[in-house]
Chain A
Amino acid sequence: MASVRLENLRKEFGTVVAVKELNLHFPDGKFAAILGPSGCGKTTTMNMIAGLETPTRGSIYFDDRRMNDVPPGKRDVGFVFQNYAIFTHMTIAENIGFGLKIRGVDETTIRREVGKIAELLELTDMLNVNAGRLSVNDMQKVALGRSMIVKPRIFLLDEPFSNLDAAFRAFMRGELKRIQREIGQTMIYVTHDQVEAMSMADLIAVMDFGVLQQFGSPDEIYNQPVNTFVANFIGSPNMNFVACSFRSEDGKGYLVQKRGSARIAIDERRRQLLEHHSGNQDLIWGIRPEHMTLHAEPISSDCIQAVVRFLEPLGPKTVVHLRLGEEHIKVIAPPSYREAAGVVQWIQINPQYLHVFDAKTGVVIR
């Protein structure tokens, strides 16, 4: 077990900068996710931690030991590849036992250890099956087991669930979490699926274009996004963004929609903050669809008016698409919601969840 610390880590491929001055600290025993869209540098970061790629600059520390010059096989890192990289010419038992075999461990010990792992992963009945014809679900388990058997200090998983079918993915999320608790090792995994990151990780690092955007607990990431990228990337359906400018009337602050007439009153703290913000004519307010409610009549003076475009019933909830001025927004409504297109609705915003961003930089103002 070990913590992982990255200091000013940078990786260039020719002229392309894949990872830019990355500083991260994954504490010991935590389950951490690196989240981002494809091409954001998350896999490169993972490969650098594993030692499969050499950083252009910067350092990697496990606990307090600098690992840059330690070859991958000596870093004591378990790596589960995106396509699992199962040794197709071996049986499941041989796959799982491979790490011990190359360490020269004797046959009986290998068999005993493989048996333990197989039990943990519920693979006991399949040990002698040829790994060449496994389902992806089983490959996933074998890949995990193969890394686990050598008891690495750190576990790295590259998009561990992206190839699984939906049902098994949900199941494995729970399983992986359970396994992580049981073995208590530091686990870092890469994913582009925010649901996966939110549901499993203790800590999430969101990356885009090789730059770390935000690092924090799922709760922080969800409720206090630092910029529009993070706010947009987390949550499904994603956050509504409306371009607006700040206006101050009679000592009260308002956000006035640019491409429409919606006007939102803001509290005193925010007003003061925005009053002194130099770009306060060029702002974006954002709010998640689940933080608004729809009403037939204005239930308060804060309500804004919108017109229903169409409904997207999802079973437990219905996503209502509305037109707000010239912009489109989404609101989560109860499944019983059945208004037709064209109907005027009043939206009540929960101001607690309102985020205001600088439109130029995308950075949150709070």
Chain B
Amino acid sequence: MQKTPTWQRVVRYALVIIVVGMFTFPTYWMVTMAFKPKVEWSTAHGTIYWVPKNPTLENFDTVLTEYRGQFFRANQSSALPSIRSSIIVSIGGTLFALLIGTLAAYGLSRFSVDTGDLPWYVALGRLALLILVLLPFMVLWAWLGIIRYWYGILTFTILGIAADQLIGRLLGRIYRGPTGSLAFSILQLRMFPPMAIVIPVMIMWSAFKLIDTWYGLVAVYGVVTFPFVVWLMKSFFDEIPRELDEAAIVDGASNWGAFLKVVLPLAKGGLASTALFVFILNWSDFLIALLLTTRDWPTIPVFLNSLVSSEIGAQHGPKAALGLLAVIPPVVFGILIQRYLVRGLTFGAIKR
């Protein structure tokens, strides 16, 4: 190619440094804040500290060590329980999402026939019909008082599936246009603000005493992130030629054998990337944990938000220290799976 003139390259380099500097500054501020002693936290004393003058590990000590009589939040005087909680809940949610998501992704990759997009009035009409049919039953179950118990939920869910199937059949008689695909409905699900879903989940969870438990959070995380698993894994499965499954089946493997022993091992790189990606999503959640935890299982972001001590006021240093700790796993994993970040965040729509 033609050589770019030197002055252009210098200008571009300067621009790169300025832009990257601007985008790095907030992170830089947090990292340095984590190592600053209390006097350097703010400009209250007239000077601002661009770099920590007397770097210290005190802030990490404050958040990680329990001091008698110093309470950050409810009954917790250190961030350790929240770190434990974040790790357990994120890993649990990831595994759950992977389990159901990978199966569905394989199903969609191999057996789904896409028939174009479903108009919203059909989708909404179906939903409305379903709600209309099921609502009286819910009231009935509630009136009978059994909806509070597992057998009540189970019978109601079975009833729900039956009603769903029935309405689908009936609609199929009247409406013969494009029907969309499960993959697409799952994508549509991502469109809803989680707040709109979490409020009823919270009601339900409090009924089942799932609030502030790790398994309660794991279940919600699994459901919220499994669309990503479906779309990511589907894009990976789509890259594995179908002929391989067919060859395995012709050689005598069962359908499950072909999936578990041939396709899944080939997709394990994709599976690992998906796992890390979903882990980042779960680890980053704030809203769900904010609503579904109280005392025992607050995750790091929730704990961080409440990190104010009655004795020492605003805790900039310790907060930044905890923030730094919270940011390390997703940044490390994120850099590891760089190549798949775009694919993940665009639901496999852009593969790069």
A–B contact (CB under 8 angstroms): yes
CA distance A72 to B2 in the complex (A): 9
Interface size in chain A (residues, C-beta < 8 A): 6
**Closest residue of chain B to A72, judged by CB?**
B2
Residues of A close to B2: CB separation below 8 A: 51-54, 71-72
CA distance A72 to B3 in the complex (A): 12
Per-residue interface assignment for chain A, residues 68 to 111, with 1 indicating a CB less than 8 Å from any chain B CB and 0 otherwise = 00011000000000000000000000000000000000000000
Residues of B close to A51: CB separation below 8 A: 2
Range class of the B interface residue count? under 10
**Smallest beta-carbon distance B3→chain A, Å:** 6
Residues of B close to A72: CB separation below 8 A: 2
**Smallest beta-carbon distance A175→chain B, Å:** 32
B191 within 8 Å of A by Cβ?
no
Interchain pairs with CB closer than 8 A, number: 9
**Smallest beta-carbon distance A282→chain B, Å:** 46
CA distance A40 to B251 in the complex (A): 50
Residues of B close to A53: CB separation below 8 A: 1-2
Per-residue interface assignment for chain B, residues 105 to 135, with 1 indicating a CB less than 8 Å from any chain A CB and 0 otherwise = 0000000000000000000000000000000
Per-residue interface assignment for chain B, residues 87 to 101, with 1 indicating a CB less than 8 Å from any chain A CB and 0 otherwise = 000000000000000
**Smallest beta-carbon distance A156→chain B, Å:** 16
CA distance A53 to B1 in the complex (A): 5
CA distance A72 to B1 in the complex (A): 10
CA distance A53 to B2 in the complex (A): 5
**Closest residue of chain B to A51, judged by CB?**
B2
**Smallest beta-carbon distance A301→chain B, Å:** 63
**Smallest beta-carbon distance A96→chain B, Å:** 26
Per-residue interface assignment for chain A, residues 6 to 32, with 1 indicating a CB less than 8 Å from any chain B CB and 0 otherwise = 000000000000000000000000000
Residues of B close to A54: CB separation below 8 A: 2-3
Q: Which 9 A-B pairs have the closest CB atoms?
A: A54-B3, A54-B2, A52-B1, A51-B2, A71-B2, A72-B2, A52-B2, A53-B1, A53-B2
B interface residues with partner A (beta carbon < 8 Å)? 1-3
Would you mind naming 9 contact pairs between A and B with Cβ atoms under 8 Å apart? A51-B2, A52-B1, A52-B2, A53-B1, A53-B2, A54-B2, A54-B3, A71-B2, A72-B2
Given pairs A52-B2, A53-B1, A53-B2, 6 additional interface contacts (CB within 8 A): A51-B2, A52-B1, A54-B2, A54-B3, A71-B2, A72-B2
